[in-house]
Amino acid sequence: TVLVVDYGAQYAQLIARRVRECHVYSEIVPSTMPVEEMLAKKPKAIILSGGPASVYADGAPQAPVQLFETGVPTLGICYGYQAMVQSLGGRVAETGRSEFGRTRIDVGTDTVLFNGLPAVQTVWMSHGDSVAAAPPGFRTTGSTESTPVAAMEDPGRGLYGVQFHPEVLHSEHGQAVLRHFLYNGAGCRPTWTMVNIVDEQVERIRAQVGGKRAVCGLSGGVDSAVAGALVQRAIGDRLTCVFVDHGLLRKGEAEQVEKDFVAATGAVLKVVDAQDRFLDALAGVGDPEEKRKIVGREFIRVFEQAAREVVAEGGQAGDDVEFLVQGTLYPDVVESGGGTGAANIKSHHNVGGLPEDLRFSLVEPLRELFKDEVRRVGEELGLPQEMVWRQPFPGPGLAIRIIGDITRERLDVLREADAIAREELSRAGLDRDIWQCPVVLLADVRSVGVQGDSRTYGHPVVLRPVSSEDAMTADWSRLPYDVLAAISNRITNEVREVNRVTLDVTSKPPGTIEWE
Ligand code: XMP
């Protein structure tokens, strides 16, 4: 394990991911964690992240000197670097001058971190204070115009520091610097591979579930599919997957679960066709919050019923269903304080609302993984590409992409238009460039058009392509005009009810990604 000590910037997760991209397992811990507790995790290396504070600010998080006397190789980044310098007797100057963005750095190439890399490189900086003097025992290994000591190392003690952010892509050799630290500075070996992750999780799931049975709700999304596939691999037929078909998925997605997922994993699947039930419950409802509540409520009821049936099918004593599989990911765990055991259930249509007499213990095989790792595990498990690379899709599904009441006909119209947009985006090779592209049906709006020689009076759809890192903020994607043209032509030609295609050019904020 490599511990990434979080000094409060958004960079800790990125560092942890980059370490794992070097095939070394990493875990994020808070900077308030006592050093003994860190050591109890038997880290092979420690990385101190950047952070927003100045080391001189009141209450700024510290790096206690014991942290550097553990013998565990340690790399300080940005704030973590300055905290290291301060703690070991170097000098951090409040220059009042900040360095931000792409910066040129001169480095010593006969060093551990920069060995074999160009002597002049571009790195990404983001700091106010600067290191004016390295602590005793350190060699200065990099400098920039405004920061005389921009990198340092003391290989004898296993201590390294860089002012820049090696984890961001703008630092051209950043990943190599991390790799050098991990492999050469800390002696880590690249053993964190997809095959090992799968094997290790399978072992753990077996140990946890023992001879009992488990249920897993599949939503059509990546996380539940990968979690289900892992548990299936571990306990086989003692897992029952439940898929509630609420009729609000996109074209082909229900089939992906019912056919492709089962074919790829051999999982026992119980499909509940609840389309009519959801349509009835949603009939005449136009209010977005109301729609969300209804879908969430109905989902829990249907899932609960299905789970009861699975439990009842168990039969003999000792063969009870006791476990519920959840696709909780590492970012959710970190954001909720990193505690172990506590269920942190995020998605709105989860099963957190199950009644008291249906108590399950949770199996969360993705708790340690980032989204991109989950996708790679999914590939390793042989899940269909469309499922593994599926873009984010809201739990309430197409219900919140029809502006107006929901009917079966409107769902069909939107499904067709959405499928065309997805097809054209894939054809243009843009799937991994855009974050997602909701297609929204303005069901209560009509406009006049002409097709052939006749007047039409149809509905508009809105394309909402966005780029984003985490969906918290987003910008509208500048799709090539010819791709937009292809989508527009095909939708208006192939979907009779739609006679106009419009483009949403609003960022988030102020607009949210979804329209409802
Ligand atoms: P907004 O519209 O809030 O969406 O900008 C942010 C991201 O979240 C997705 N989304 C949801 N996901 N349940 C989900 O699991 C929901 O109720 C839900 N609502 C929005 C949305 O697609 C986008 O990726």
| Residue 13 shares a structural domain with residue 55 | yes
Within a domain: 509? no
Q: Cβ of 289: how many Cβ atoms within 10 Å? A: 10
| Residue 17 shares a structural domain with residue 152 | yes
Told to judge if 180 belongs to the known catalytic residues of this protein, a careful annotator would answer no
Please give the pLDDT value at position 11: 83
Please give the pLDDT value at position 315: 56
219 is in an annotated binding site: yes
Q: Which residues pair with 92 in a beta bridge?
A: 131
Question: What interface predicted TM-score (ipTM) does this complex get?
Answer: 0.98
Within a domain: 396? no
| Residue 496 shares a structural domain with residue 445 | yes
| Residue 351 shares a structural domain with residue 479 | no
Q: Tell me, what CATH number does 292's domain have?
A: 3.40.50.620
| Residue 181 shares a structural domain with residue 198 | no
| Residue 212 shares a structural domain with residue 296 | yes
Four-CA torsion 173, 178, 180, 181, nearest 10 degrees? 150
| Residue 39 shares a structural domain with residue 134 | yes
| Residue 202 shares a structural domain with residue 160 | no
| Rounded-to-integer distance, Cα 186 and Cα 1, Å | 11
Q: Tell me, what CATH number does 163's domain have?
A: 3.40.50.880
Ligand 1 center–CA 292 separation, angstroms: 11
What does pLDDT average to in each consecutive run of 10 residues of the chain (516 residues)? 89 92 95 95 97 86 92 97 96 85 96 98 93 97 94 98 95 97 98 94 96 94 97 96 97 96 96 98 97 94 92 66 91 66 35 71 93 95 94 95 98 98 97 95 96 92 93 94 98 97 96 96
Which domain-ending residue is among 161, 185, 209?
185
| Residue 274 shares a structural domain with residue 350 | yes
Within a domain: 275? yes
| Rounded-to-integer distance, Cα 92 and Cα 100, Å | 17
483 is in an annotated binding site: no
| Residue 458 shares a structural domain with residue 371 | no
Q: Whose CA is nearest to atom 11 of ligand 1?
A: 394
Domain count, the chain: 3
Please give the pLDDT value at position 319: 59
| Residue 51 shares a structural domain with residue 95 | yes
| Rounded-to-integer distance, Cα 502 and Cα 516, Å | 17
Ligand 1 center–CA 464 separation, angstroms: 13
| Residue 335 shares a structural domain with residue 474 | no
Please give the pLDDT value at position 345: 32
Q: Give φ, ψ of 195 to 5 degrees.
A: -60, -45
CA–CA distances in Å: residue 489 to residues 39, 413, 474, 484: 61, 15, 27, 9
Q: Tell me, what CATH number does 482's domain have?
A: 3.30.300.10
Residues in the chain: 516
Ligand 1 center–CA 394 separation, angstroms: 5
Within a domain: 418? yes
Reported pTM:
0.86
Which domain-ending residue is among 388, 421, 444?
388
Domain around 202: 194-388
Burial (CB count <10 Å: 0-12, 13-18, 19+), residue 206: middle
Within a domain: 514? no
Told to judge if 78 belongs to the known catalytic residues of this protein, a careful annotator would answer yes
**Residue 206 structure tokens:** 């077996």
Please give the pLDDT value at position 313: 82
End-to-end CA distance of the chain: 42
Q: Crossing angle, helix 222-235 and helix 194-209, to 10 degrees?
A: 70
Please give the pLDDT value at position 164: 96
Within a domain: 334? yes
Q: Which residues pair with 323 in a beta bridge?
A: 214, 361
Within a domain: 510? no
